[in-house]
Amino acid sequence: MAMLDNKIGLVLGVANKRSIAWACAKACAAEGARMAFTYQAERLKETVDELAGTLNDSLVVPCDVSEQETLDAAIDAVKQRYGRLDFIVHSIAFAPKEALEGEFVNTSRDAFRMALEISAYSLTQVARAALPLMTEGGSIVTMSYYGAEKVVMNYNVMGVAKSALESSTRYLAADLGKDNIRVNAISAGPINTLSARGVRGMGSLLGYVGERSPLKRNVTADEVGNTALFLISDLASGITGETIYVDCGYHIMGI
Ligand SMILES: NC(=O)c1ccc[n+]([C@@H]2O[C@H](COP(=O)([O-])OP(=O)(O)OC[C@H]3O[C@@H](n4cnc5c(N)ncnc54)[C@H](O)[C@@H]3O)[C@@H](O)[C@H]2O)c1
């Protein structure tokens, strides 16, 4: 029997085949999971449809977390189709481009609010909306980054949002543990995706981290996907509220 046979998932954050969310979905599908996918905007629908179409019994629904009614409709569609939910991959983030370059001190109120709302609050928002469907326990996994705890040039307000996301992971884990729902974050090393390209200087960051990490390379989206599979599976049944680094060891290095 495969690790996720009879498990139903909701995957938020597939934009294209390079998305970390897609790597997570591939790993889970290989272990028997069936999944619903959300796309944020109409321009992404065709790509998400195509990717999800390669998997068994998938569902594709719109959801922009800044519009609560779209999330409610997505959860409703999952309920109609599958009747319940066992896991969630939350792999979404956004900050205005001008907030991801230059000095953090110049972050506008609007950019701060938007980054925190979409990149951090949405985890709590999605967990609450999905809770009635997670009747048999489950696992929620979100994506963080090292900029949550150390200053990374140009990452700026997204670092603050990731701090809030990791803290939210712990608070949610404490709340939802009684329902046998585990909540964990993966702190992934830099990967060349659509969102990553929005951070100024991403190319040189990849080079820097690749040279200095213990494994002397950058992590791949598939490695992050495999860790998400582990956290979702029963192999991680004793782990909750944790942030697991999948960064080729970069975060352990001092000088
Ligand atoms: N790529 C990296 O280097 C890296 C490293 C660590 C963590 N992460 C995190 O991984 C997650 C996935 O990013 P990615 O690198 O795969 O890039 P990506 O661009 O493929 O995925 C980001 C997703 O967020 C979605 N999104 C943005 N605003 C949204 C909204 N309002 N409602 C719903 N969805 C919205 C986008 O549609 C997109 O699908 C993000 O949280 C990111 O911060 C990325």
The torsion angles phi and psi of 56, rounded to 5 degrees, stand at -70, 130
Q: Is the CB of 173 under 6 A from ligand 1?
A: no
User: Is residue 191 in some structural domain?
Assistant: yes
Q: Is the CB of 91 under 6 A from ligand 1?
A: yes
Six-digit token string for 198? 């929005």
User: Is residue 55 in some structural domain?
Assistant: yes
Instruction: Render pLDDT for 20-40 as a digit per residue (tens, 0 to 9).
Output: 999 999 999 999 999 999 999
Q: Ligand 1 centre from 123 Cα, in Å?
A: 13
Atom of ligand 1 nearest to the CA of 15: 39
User: Is residue 48 in some structural domain?
Assistant: yes
User: Is residue 30 in some structural domain?
Assistant: yes
pTM to 2 decimal places: 0.98
Instruction: Render pLDDT for 212-222 as a digit per residue (tens, 0 to 9).
Output: 999 999 999 99
User: Is residue 62 in some structural domain?
Assistant: yes
Rounded distance, CA 226 to CA 29, Å? 11
For the question of residue 145 being annotated catalytic, the response is yes
Atom of ligand 1 nearest to the CA of 142: 41
Long-range CB pairs of 110-117, under 8 A, 24+ apart, other chains included: 111/157, 112/157, 112/160, 115/157, 115/158, 115/160, 115/161, 116/157, 116/160, 116/161, 116/164, 117/65, 117/66
The boundaries of the domain holding residue 57 are 8-246
- The pLDDT score that the predictor gives to residue 198 is 87
How far is CA 67 from its chain centroid? 18
- The pLDDT score that the predictor gives to residue 199 is 86
- The pLDDT score that the predictor gives to residue 236 is 98
- The pLDDT score that the predictor gives to residue 158 is 98
Which residue, judged by its Cα, is nearest atom 11 of ligand 1? 91
- Beta carbons within 8 Å of 59's beta carbon, 6+ residues apart: 35, 36, 37, 52, 77, 78, 81, 82
Rounded distance, CA 177 to CA 189, Å? 28
Q: Ligand 1 centre from 13 Cα, in Å?
A: 6
Rounded distance, CA 78 to CA 109, Å? 35
Rounded distance, CA 232 to CA 134, Å? 13
User: Is residue 224 in some structural domain?
Assistant: yes
- The pLDDT score that the predictor gives to residue 24 is 99
CATH of the domain at 166: 3.40.50.720
User: Is residue 254 in some structural domain?
Assistant: no
Q: Is the CB of 143 under 6 A from ligand 1?
A: yes
User: Is residue 139 in some structural domain?
Assistant: yes
- The pLDDT score that the predictor gives to residue 1 is 87
- Beta carbons within 8 Å of 134's beta carbon, 6+ residues apart: 84, 85, 86, 179, 181
Q: pLDDT (tens digit, 0 to 9) for every residue of the chain, 255 residues total? A: 899 999 999 999 999 999 999 999 999 999 999 999 999 999 999 999 999 999 999 999 999 999 999 999 999 999 999 999 999 999 999 999 999 999 999 999 999 999 999 999 999 999 999 999 999 999 999 999 999 999 999 999 999 999 999 999 999 999 999 999 999 999 999 999 999 988 888 889 999 999 999 999 999 999 999 999 999 999 999 999 999 999 999 999 998
CA distances from 175 to 8, 106, 151, 168, 182 (A): 22, 35, 30, 10, 10
Atom of ligand 1 nearest to the CA of 187: 6
- State the total domains in the chain: 1
